[in-house]
Amino acid sequence: MPALKLTHCPAALILLLCGLAGCHSGKDSEDLRLSGLAQSAENSNRSQPNLNMEKQTKKATARQLIVSKENNAGRLAPLGTLSFDESNHATLSTEGSGPAVDELKKVWDEISKLKELTWKQSRPGEIGGEKVTRIVGETARPGDDTYIYAVLNTLERKYGYTVDLAN
């Protein structure tokens, strides 16, 4: 095919540039193919989970609750952090000192001695053909997967703290 002199034919230059805008290089095609293979492998792994990997992920994911309470100035003051280990058992570390921190220590001592907590939740339902919101209590024990949520709920509902889930 004879070479075009693009300097003499602006229309050819425009056509060439428009055509190239939609083209992909060989490398782009290879990247897309590899991406598709990776996605396919990922989907395959989802259908057959590796239990060892799940255990490793669970151990690496230590979760925390940040416990705060409103101070005299009307601002939320962080009082402590509850850190949950891989077996969903928690330890409290406090920030600073004072009566509010001492109270949190007392509350946590009380909660941590309980064999189980109730995680109260609202769930939509239907009773006698009417739509209702039911309050349901789910029991959680230290070590249960839902224990962190029961602790969060108990601190807020029963003791009036503001609790945020970190991580």
Q: Which residues of the chain have pLDDT under 50?
A: 1-2, 4-60
**Whole-structure pTM value:** 0.59
Mean pLDDT (the chain, rounded): 74
Question: What is the model's pLDDT at position 107?
Answer: 97
Whole-angstrom distance, CA of residue 96 vs CA of residue 81:
12
4-to-14, 15, 17, 58 alpha-carbon distances in Å = 13, 12, 13, 63
Question: What is the model's pLDDT at position 17?
Answer: 40
Residue 92 is encoded by which pair of tokens?
Answer: 């409290």
Question: What is the model's pLDDT at position 84?
Answer: 92
Q: Counting Cβ atoms within 10 Å, is residue 63 exposed (0-12), middle (13-18) or buried (19+)?
A: middle
